């Protein structure tokens, strides 16, 4: 239910508008002056404010400026019986959505409000649609003919249109987010936002603010009200990636959203109700974490209503030729190449490789190979650099010193190797720290700590 705050020093006007707009299905609160309106806005969030221009103590234009500073997402509409072109222009320049002249018909007010809120919804959904479309072509990642992947896709079709929460399990790079997208876009929620958040990529205070939003002044730097991702995902789906990395304090708040369908912004005093489907994912053993007290048991059972397990690429090698051809065609378009296929020996190399990074690693391998190729057929030589390490164990392929070279300082040698792995992961992920952490099978917080410990220059890298 969308919330509207009516601000007018005339009680009769407040009452008439309240009655009319409540009949339209809106939640209504009122204030008789600008000061009261700002105090109300500090305690709660509103989708739209309908305010008079001429009021004692604080006029409507001053209130408009204060609202836009405090809660930029809130729509403000002005009302006045003393219209002037100059005032209207000033109001619109300051960020007012529209300007209504008294007396007006209630039907007119209702229509303008409806259009304003619809425009706001479309703007928000278009933004997330654009973000989503960036990954639509990547649905090819989950293509395959193997029984294992077909079983996964069959399950996606069965559960997509249900309201149940879903837990997706699988190693890093298997395509957990792509499965989540497939679930959302095959459901009745497909026309509403699909919002993703990596629970391991942000420190605890930032993660709480991202998920639940905050009110102005809730903490240092909170200069305005901010919607949380659960609000943005209303009537759609939210994908909680790496949920195992969510701190216990955040897990408590997630449990409340799942149980009560409501939450509070950081620093807020009012509950916000949402209708959101939660799809969670992790590459860790949640049952073991529950047993060790690292993950809440009640939250685990809330998210694990339906479980989808994505098999690693090494367990469905028959899908490698299919995926290889898909990636070659895609990178032809992206890179302006004309590669038509892959020779038998090169394909055999791909089939032998262990693929610890799963489909993501295969994609990166073929992108580099297509980029560097000079012919129309990918050869074993094109893949030589890519597969020389991957055909064996990643650890075994490293050049380890001998015991004689080490002496007995095992800890120091492990530190050297750890730093080397961190730097190689950053190189392989093009400096994206969250991806580098996934390649090493550790959380982002752990990765960031190790980078700082070894004094690795991260100024040229990024979190996402």
Q: What is the pLDDT of residue 464?
A: 61
Q: Which residue has the higher pLDDT, 360 or 123?
A: 360
Percent of the chain with pLDDT over 90: 42
**138-150 pLDDT, tens digit each:** 344 456 778 898 8
pLDDT at 393 over 50: no
Give the closest residue to 265 by CA, choosing from 77, 46, 34. 46
Nearby residues of 241 by Cβ (< 8 Å), 6 or more positions away? 176, 177, 196, 197, 198, 199, 200, 280, 281
Percent of the chain with pLDDT over 70: 86
> Residue 415 in contact with residue 454, Cβ under 8 Å?
yes
> Residue 245 in contact with residue 445, Cβ under 8 Å?
yes
Rounded (to 5) percent helix, strand, coil in the chain:
50, 15, 35
pLDDT at 398 over 60: no
Average of per-residue pLDDT across 357-361: 91
Nearby residues of 292 by Cβ (< 8 Å), 6 or more positions away? none
In the chain, the largest separation of any two C-alpha atoms, in whole Å, equals: 93
Could you write out the DSSP letters of every residue in 22-74?
HHTT-EEEEESSHHHHHHHHHHS--SEEEEES--SSS-HHHHHHHHHHH-TTS
pLDDT at 127 over 80: no
Q: Is 178 left (phi over 0), alpha (psi -120 to 50) or beta?
A: alpha
Q: What is the pLDDT of residue 99?
A: 85
The distance from CA 176 to its chain's CA centroid, rounded to whole angstroms, is: 13
DSSP code at position 338 = -
Q: At what angle do helices 410-428 and 433-440 cross, to 10 degrees?
A: 130
Q: Tell me the domains of the chain and their CATH numbers.
A: 3-129 (3.40.50.2300), 148-311 (3.40.50.300), 314-387 (1.10.8.60), 403-453 (1.10.10)
3-state secondary structure 252-303: HHHHHHHHHCEECCECCCCCEECCCEEEEEECCCHHHHHHCCCCCHHHHHHH
Integer Cα distance of 2 and 47 in angstroms: 6
pLDDT at 438 over 90: no
Q: What is the residue-averaged pLDDT of the chain?
A: 84
pLDDT at 24 over 70: yes
pLDDT at 318 over 70: yes
Q: Cβ–Cβ contacts within 10 Å for residue 321, how many?
A: 15
Integer Cα distance of 222 and 355 in angstroms: 44
**283-312 pLDDT, tens digit each:** 999 999 999 999 999 999 999 999 999 999
Average of per-residue pLDDT across 370-388: 78
**93-116 pLDDT, tens digit each:** 888 888 888 888 888 899 889 888
Confidence of residue 128 (pLDDT cuts 50, 70, 90): low
Could you write out the DSSP letters of every residue in 220-239?
TT--S-B--HHHHTTTSEEE
Determine which of 174-178, 228-232, 414-418 has the lowest per-residue pLDDT on average: 414-418
Q: What is the pLDDT of residue 85?
A: 64
> The whole model's pTM is what?
0.64
The structure tokens listed for 167 are 């837990």
Nearby residues of 49 by Cβ (< 8 Å), 6 or more positions away? 4, 5, 6, 7, 37, 41, 63, 67, 74, 75, 76, 77
- Residue 101, strand partner residues: 80
Q: What is the pLDDT of residue 72?
A: 84
Q: What is the pLDDT of residue 34?
A: 92
């Amino acid at each position: 239910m969308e919330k509207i705050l009516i601000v007018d020093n005339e009680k009769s006007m407040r009452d008439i508008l309240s009655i009319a707009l409540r009949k339209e299905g809106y939640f209504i609160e009122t204030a008789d002056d600008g000061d009261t309106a700002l105090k109300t806005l500090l305690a709660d969030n509103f989708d739209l404010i309908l305010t008079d221009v001429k009021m004692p103590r604080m006029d409507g234009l001053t209130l408009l400026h204060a609202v836009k500073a405090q809660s930029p997402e809130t729509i403000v509409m002005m009302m006045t019986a003393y219209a002037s072109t100059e005032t209207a222009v000033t109001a619109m320049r300051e960020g007012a959505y529209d300007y209504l002249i008294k007396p007006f018909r209630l039907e007119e007010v209702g229509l303008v409000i409806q259009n304003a809120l619809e425009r706001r919804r479309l703007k928000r959904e278009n933004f997330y649609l654009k973000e989503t479309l960036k990954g639509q072509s990547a649905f090819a990642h989950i293509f395959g003919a193997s029984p294992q992947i077909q079983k996964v896709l069959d399950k996606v079709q069965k559960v997509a249109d249900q309201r149940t929460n879903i837990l997706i399990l699988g190693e890093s790079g298997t395509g957990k987010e792509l499965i989540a997208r497939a679930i959302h876009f095959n459901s009745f929620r497909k026309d509403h936002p699909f919002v993703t958040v990596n629970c391991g990529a942000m420190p605890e205070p930032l993660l709480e603010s991202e998920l639940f939003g905050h009110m102005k002044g809730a903490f240092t730097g909170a200069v305005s009200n901010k919607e949380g991702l659960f609000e943005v995902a209303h009537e759609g789906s939210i994908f909680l990636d790496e949920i195992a990395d969510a701190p216990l304090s955040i897990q408590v708040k997630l449990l409340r959203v799942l149980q009560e369908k409501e939450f509070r912004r950081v620093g807020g005093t009012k509950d916000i109700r949402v209708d959101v489907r939660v799809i969670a994912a992790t590459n860790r053993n949640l049952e073991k974490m529950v047993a060790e007290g690292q993950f809440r048991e009640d939250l685990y059972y809330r998210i694990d209503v339906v479980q989808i397990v994505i098999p690693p690429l090494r367990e469905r090698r028959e899908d490698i030729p299919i995926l290889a051809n898909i990636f070659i065609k895609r990178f032809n378009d992206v890179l302006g190449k004309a590669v038509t296929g892959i020779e038998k020996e090169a394909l055999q190399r791909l089939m032998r490789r262990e693929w610890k990074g799963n489909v993501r690693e295969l994609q990166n391998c073929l992108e580099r190979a297509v980029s560097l190729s000079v012919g129309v057929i990918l050869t074993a030589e094109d893949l030589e650099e890519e597969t020389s390490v991957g055909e064996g164990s990643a650890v075994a392929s490293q050049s380890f010193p001998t015991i004689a070279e080490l002496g007995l300082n095992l800890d120091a040698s492990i530190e050297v190797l750890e730093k080397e792995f961190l730097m190689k992961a950053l190189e392989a992920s093009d400096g994206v720290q969250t991806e580098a952490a996934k390649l090493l099978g550790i959380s982002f917080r752990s990765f960031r700590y190790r980078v700082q410990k070894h004094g690795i220059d991260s100024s040229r890298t990024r979190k996402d």
